Amino acid sequence: MAPAKTMSLPPLAPFPEASWLADVDGEALVEAWSVLVGAYMNLSDEDFVAAASDEASVAVFVTSFVREAPFAPSLASPLLKPVFQLTSRLLTLSPPAILLDCFFLSHLARLYPRNHVQPIIAQLFDSQPAVLESSLASLKKLLLPHLTAGIRGDLKLVQSRLVDINPLLHVSSHASAFLLAGSDFFDGLVSCFRVMNPPLRKVIIATTYLCLVGVSEARPPKWAMLGDQLFALKSAADAHKQGPLNVNDSLVAELVTATPLLRTLLRAVANSGASQQLLTKRITDLEPFRKGPMTRPKRRVKTRPDKGKGRATGQDDEAELLLDQMSKITQIQDLFPEMGAGFVSRCLDEYDQDVEQVVASLLSESLPAHLASADRSELLRRHEQASFPHQAPSMTSSQLPKRRNVFDDDELDRLAADTSKISFGKRLDRTADDVLRDKSTAPSKAAILSALAAFDSDDDERDDTYDAVDVGGTVDSTNQEADGVNDSNEELLFRAYTMDDKTFAKDAATRRAATRTKLREETGMTDEAIEGWATMLTRNPQQMKRLQAKYAFAGQQTQLERTAWRAGSGTENSDADTDGAGRGGRASRGRGRGRGRGQAGPTEERDTEAARRRKEANKASRANHNRRDGRARKMARGGMAG
């Protein structure tokens, strides 16, 4: 007799998107999903495999739940444990093809703790290596052209795909080793990091860090692959150092500064027990690329005078502490995007706000018991503002002065009061005569003469000799970002601007031109940044003069012009061309007639011609020419001959 056939269970509805949750009854859905998931889990292994293969809705529900649960924590929280049990059983017995996608496994690693997901994914790589590696190969093939293209690639696609795959790299050393196999993926990350896109740079740093740490955590550890990647890091850093860009603006410098990579790798090598001197040396060779602390000038903040009208609540100090904590939470969430801000805040409180200690503990899964069992998707609660009750000031029992009159019969009425204790107005201890007679605080004559001898009357006059010329000055070596921008791209942009300023136009045709494309590739800047640089240059003539003086150097020494006024060789009062007609004097006459004024300077032809021109130009203002012309006009009016 044939065995009875198992009753088929109803299909599981997919988990809705976050935008649909406002229009659905969440409690009814959660209750229905819980009942159905429990019914599937109560089946035997054979019946469960048959039901999962017949009903594709199980895999669809699991996929949609893992993808959308982080965006609806209130609705998904009761289903986290049963769905994880259902997913684990599916992946262990007979995993459907839709659940072997690398992005599904990455979403699973983002939703659940690492110690729960890591064994399941490791077992999948042992049992289904071809399918998983095929999915990772497709992702790698998609990203490589855009990574190597730099600014011409689809940067948004690269950023979104790397953000999605980073949780899988965090829990799976197999995925990290597969992506780092060969040098094409790592070279693409180094090339794409040159693009000035801060969000993309953070994602690239996180991806590189997770891949290198994942290779060191493989069982057995892949020391040879790790050594090759560290050598590639050192080579890329040296090549960047020899180039025109800023030394500290490289992937290696940011990687060893913003992440605990070197310390984590050294700890992994030490815990392995094997002698890895070459690997240790390659790790320590990256230490010189660590950036030093950057000291930025403190911004001047306008402060309003406190009028005493507000209640002191300490909110300013609390806001400053909250901003510092949110900055540290953001740094940790760049590496662990699946963790909630509330859980990260609790970890920071546990380790005295030390970001590196928190990252190291999260990577090694060495958190305390109360944090290891906590909800890692916990959100940060808003701090309640402390409210202070308004209390009216209590009335103090101050003693009022007693009124006195002439009938008190006191010592003043009896004229028995001490007159030395009575004064009209403010009583002074010493009179003016006493102050003048006191010579104890007066300076001595020797001190006055010594101060006068040391005084220089010219000290208060500022030297303005070199005000009009840029003679250079001290350079702030700590402003590393500004040095990088000025030295790397400023010369390229300025030379392109002097050759053809139409290259910086804002129309679509110019942006598609070959010259603009070449300029974007050389500088790594976007079209908006290039056009903005040209706009600011046209608005600042002083900047234009500075760039012309800086990049128009032809080998000669800088000539410093004198700014004080001096009489030139062609002026009337010049010493070189003195003609005897200085201010306050009279012109000397030369010997003989027709020779004009005497020449006190050299007798060269050039000086003679200059003196003659001045004489012809000033004839009407000297000697008797004016009187002679006036007499001629009068005689003409009278009809008489001149």
CA distance linking residue 108 with residue 117, whole number of Å: 7
Please give the pLDDT value at position 207: 92
Structural contact between residues 59 and 99, judged by C-beta atoms closer than 8 angstroms: yes
CA distance linking residue 431 with residue 571, whole number of Å: 68
Q: Single out the residue of 471, 610, 457, 625 nearest to residue 546, CA to CA.
A: 471
Q: What is the pTM of this model?
A: 0.49
Query: H/E element holding 103?
Result: helix 102-111
Q: Single out the residue of 69, 134, 46, 147 nearest to residue 97, CA to CA.
A: 134
What are the C-alpha distances in Å from 105 to residues 98, 112, 124, 166?
10, 11, 10, 11
Neighbours of 640 (CB within 10 A): 8
Please give the pLDDT value at position 474: 46
Please give the pLDDT value at position 19: 72
Which token pair is 537?
């240059």
What sign does the dihedral 106-109-114-119 (CA atoms) show? negative
Please give the pLDDT value at position 558: 55
Classify domain 321-372 at the CATH class level.
mainly alpha
Please give the pLDDT value at position 433: 80
What share of residues in the chain are helix, strand, coil (percent, to 5)? 60, 0, 40
Structural contact between residues 355 and 332, judged by C-beta atoms closer than 8 angstroms: yes
**Mean pLDDT by 10-residue block, N- to C-terminus, for the chain (642 residues)?**
54 80 72 88 85 78 89 84 90 86 91 90 90 91 90 90 92 90 87 86 91 87 86 85 71 86 87 77 86 60 62 60 83 83 89 86 82 83 46 53 73 77 74 78 77 67 52 46 56 87 88 88 87 89 86 59 55 44 44 46 65 68 67 76 54
